[in-house]
């Protein structure tokens, strides 16, 4: 049985259908990618799993059980999300310590002190960062704090919404390596949303390409690497991600 | 090759509590009728370089240079009148986000005509505006002409802005991350428009971007900036064989679709690079 199953998911915002009948499943310990351009509904799928967007039709199952709305607090012990913009997702007037202790307080953890120290250690930030404010951190450090906040409850699933697109290339590499390492160490399951095919190819074993709220096709990493896409839209994306080429050089 | 633009020892500094801080430190280059890329990470001074060329360094910042010449005109202490005859007419600037660069309460058409009127008469301006919208691959130019910026998608808005910047047929275009806010497939179309203008009209283009891979595939030459300094100038086609460790590191840390290197090589910064 798959860890996460999404069946015929529809998300409506008023009269607008942002997601129109999307189905996929993610196995335990797998890293699954969702690729698409802006407005394709890729982030909305992720937000729907997390309970931040309404499920208008269809169902989302975790461990075989249909998720209730609103989600039970236990859900967030198992599933956590990391958002795109570390400049916007951390409270500007809360210290790193406060950001990390809030989820522990909500879920009634006792050994907060040790867990905060450990979480900072895990994401490669030392003790020295604990009492800083977000404005005293660089973009990459902030995203590390956001990852630490998500991991502090020891979830099994991380939902990653464009975790590196606001970061410089060199910092992106560091954050991707961190995510890769944490998954190996803890057997986490990832669902990663990105517009960057190269990032998804690097991070995920399987991926889904979305356009206009629908699934275009599902690919394995091996097929993506071999440029073995059947749909024209996926081929366009693959071509565009190689960079610019003058028209004459293109057959 | 005659230089369209000559920049020698350009410096931009901002006053801070601890005295002036230089964000651009001695950038020099010459530009002909070609595509020059300026690449760097955030804070490397690449955008400030572009703005300083147009005399748009935001106060209280100050830009100085040993030489800053555009087509024989010294830009260092250019008068207001000189700037007015250059900006938007002979040198244009495209910025990253069309949402902030278009006037939200004017239709695209009126904004285009306003730009076109600077070099042509009233009757002619409208025809040129529509023609320009067609030239940037807008399929329904009449509709876009009468539309307000909020009625357009990001890609369409960016194309409208490019049309506005190009309607005066500038000799030099400074494009500061013109495609970063766009989807990859739209990005390629926008680059194609710029490419045509360089090859057909002989325009000079300064393309400022953080995307090393994109720049290396689009430009002729690339300047790599780090901490306000130019660390390297390379031919775009030889970027993969760049000599400076920063350029190499920046290139290698990008994941690729085919590659399967893990962990990704990270950039080991050297304090000497900033010196």
Tens of pLDDT along A47-62? 999 999 999 999 999 9
On chain B, the residues whose CB falls within 8 A of the CB of A236 are 185
In a domain, A177, yes or no: yes
Averaged pLDDT for residues A214-238: 92
On chain A, the residues whose CB falls within 8 A of the CB of B267 are 170, 173
Q: What is the mean pLDDT of each run of 10 residues along chain B (275 residues)?
A: 86 91 92 91 89 90 92 89 91 83 91 86 86 83 90 84 87 89 80 86 90 88 91 87 87 84 81 77
In a domain, A235, yes or no: no
Q: What is the pLDDT of residue A247?
A: 64
- The mean of the pLDDT values for chain A is 90
> Side by side, which strands form the sheet with B204-209?
B91-94, B172-176, B204-209, B35-39, B221-226, B229-235
pLDDT over threshold 50, residue A110: yes
Of all residues in chain A, the one with the smallest CA distance to B247 is A170
Helix (H, G, I), strand (E, B) or coil at A214: strand
Give the one of A169, A177, A246 whose C-beta lies nearest to B212's C-beta. Answer: A169
Q: Cβ contact (<8 Å) for A197 and B257?
A: yes
Domain ranges, residue A163: 4-41+53-218
**pLDDT tier, A140 (very low <50, low <70, confident <90, very high otherwise):** confident
**pLDDT tier, A167 (very low <50, low <70, confident <90, very high otherwise):** confident
ipTM of the complex model: 0.79
Q: What is the pLDDT of residue A130?
A: 92
Distance CA B156, CA B158 (A): 5
Averaged pLDDT for residues A135-159: 92
Instruction: Please tell me if residue A28 touches chain B, with a CB cutoff of 8 Å.
Output: no
Q: What is the pLDDT of residue A100?
A: 94
In a domain, A226, yes or no: no
Provide the 8-state DSSP code for A100.
Answer: H
Q: What is the pLDDT of residue B271?
A: 76
Averaged pLDDT for residues A76-101: 91
Q: What is the pLDDT of residue A249?
A: 45
pLDDT over threshold 80, residue A13: yes
On chain B, the residues whose CB falls within 8 A of the CB of A229 are none
In a domain, A131, yes or no: yes
Q: What is the CATH number of the domain that holds A73?
A: 3.40.50.300
Of all residues in chain B, the one with the smallest CA distance to A180 is B263
pTM value is: 0.85
Distance CA B39, CA B198 (A): 19
Q: Cβ contact (<8 Å) for B264 and A176?
A: yes
Interface mutation target, options B255, B269, B270, chain A, most CBs of A under 10 Å: B255
Instruction: Please tell me if residue B121 touches chain A, with a CB cutoff of 8 Å.
Output: no
Q: What is the pLDDT of residue A248?
A: 54
In a domain, A69, yes or no: yes
Q: What sign has the CA pseudo-torsion A68, A71, A77, A78?
A: positive
| Nearest chain B Cα distance for residue A35, angstroms | 12
Query: Structural domain tally of chain A?
Result: 1
In a domain, A239, yes or no: no
Give the one of A180, A195, A197 whose C-beta lies nearest to B183's C-beta. Answer: A195
Q: What is the pLDDT of residue A250?
A: 42
Q: Of the candidates B209, B148, B141, which has an alpha carbon nearest to the alpha carbon of residue B181?
A: B209
DSSP assignments along chain B, one per residue: ---SEEEEEEEEEEEETTEEEEEEEEEEEEE-SSEEEEE--TTSSHHHHHHHHTT-PPTT-EEE-SEEEETTEE-TT--HHHHHHHBTTTEEEE-S-HHHHS-TTS-HHHHHHHHHTTTS-HHHHHHHHHHHHHHTT-S-HHHHHT--GGGS-HHHHHHHHHHHHHTT--SEEEEESTTTTS-HHHHHHHHHHHHHHHHHH--EEEEEES-HHHHHHH-SEEEEEETTEEEEEEEGGGGGG--SHHHHHHHHTS--SS---SSPPPP---GGGG-
Q: HSE-up of B234 (CA within 13 Å, CB side)?
A: 21
In a domain, A214, yes or no: yes
Provide the 8-state DSSP code for A72.
Answer: P
Q: What is the pLDDT of residue B131?
A: 87
In this structure, of A24-28, A113-117, A208-212, A241-245, the range with the lowest mean pLDDT score is A241-245
In a domain, A121, yes or no: yes
| Nearest chain B Cα distance for residue A39, angstroms | 10
Instruction: Please tell me if residue B188 touches chain A, with a CB cutoff of 8 Å.
Output: yes
Give backbone dihedrals phi and psi of A162, rounded to 5 degrees, phi first: 45, 60
């Amino acid at each position: 049985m798959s860890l996460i199953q999404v069946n015929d998911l529809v998300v409506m915002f008023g009269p607008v259908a942002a997601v129109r009948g999307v189905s996929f499943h993610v196995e335990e310990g797998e890293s699954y990618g969702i690729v698409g351009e802006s407005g394709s509904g890729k982030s909305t799928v992720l937000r729907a799993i997390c309970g931040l967007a309404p499920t208008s039709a269809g169902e989302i199952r975790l461990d075989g059980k249909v998720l209730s709305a609103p989600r039970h607090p236990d859900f967030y012990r198992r599933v956590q999300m990391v958002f795109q913009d570390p400049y916007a997702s951390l409270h500007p007037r809360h210290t790193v310590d406060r950001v990390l202790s809030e989820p522990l307080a909500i879920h009634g953890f006792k050994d907060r002190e040790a867990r905060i120290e450990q979480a900072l250690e895990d994401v490669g930030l030392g003790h020295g960062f604990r009492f800083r404010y977000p404005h005293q951190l660089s973009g990459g450090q902030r995203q590390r704090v956001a990852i630490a906040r998500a991991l502090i409850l020891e979830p099994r699933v991380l939902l990653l919404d464009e975790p590196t697109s606001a970061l410089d290339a060199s910092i992106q590499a560091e954050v991707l390596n961190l995510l890769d390492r944490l998954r190996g160490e803890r057997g986490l399951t990832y669902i990663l949303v990105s517009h960057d095919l190269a990032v998804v190819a690097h991070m995920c074993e399987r991926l889904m390409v979305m356009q206009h709220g629908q699934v275009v096709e599902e690919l394995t990493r091996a097929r993506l690497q071999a440029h073995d896409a059947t749909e024209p839209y996926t081929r366009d994306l693959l071509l565009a991600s190689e960079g610019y080429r003058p028209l004459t050089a293109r057959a | 090759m005659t230089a369209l633009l000559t920049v020698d020892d350009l410096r931009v500094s901002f006053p801070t509590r601890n005295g002036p801080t230089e964000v651009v430190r001695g950038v020099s280059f010459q530009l002909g009728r070609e595509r020059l890329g300026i690449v760097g990470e955030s804070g490397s001074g690449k955008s400030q370089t572009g703005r300083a060329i147009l005399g748009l360094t935001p106060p209280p910042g100050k830009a100085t240079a040993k030489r800053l010449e555009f087509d024989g005109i010294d830009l260092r202490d250019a008068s207001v009148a000189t700037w007015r005859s250059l900006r938007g007419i002979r040198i244009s600037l495209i910025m990253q986000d069309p949402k902030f660069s278009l006037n939200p309460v004017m239709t695209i058409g009126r904004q285009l005509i306003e730009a076109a009127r600077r070099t042509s008469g009233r009757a002619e301006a409208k025809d040129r505006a529509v023609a320009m919208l067609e030239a940037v691959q807008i399929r329904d130019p009449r509709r876009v002409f009468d539309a307000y910026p909020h009625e357009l998608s990001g890609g369409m808005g960016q194309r409208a802005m490019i049309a506005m910047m190009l309607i005066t047929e500038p000799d030099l275009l400074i494009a500061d991350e013109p495609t970063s806010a766009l989807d990859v497939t739209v990005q390629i179309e926008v680059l194609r428009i710029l490419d045509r203008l360089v090859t057909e009209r002989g325009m000079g283009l300064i393309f400022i971007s953080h995307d090393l891979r994109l720049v290396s595939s689009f430009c002729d030459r690339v300047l790599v900036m780090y901490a306000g300094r130019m660390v390297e100038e390379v031919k775009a086609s030889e970027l993969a064989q760049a000599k400076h460790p920063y350029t190499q590191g920046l290139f290698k840390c990008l994941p690729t679709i085919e590659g399967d290197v893990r962990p990704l090589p990270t950039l080991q910064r050297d304090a000497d690079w900033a010196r």
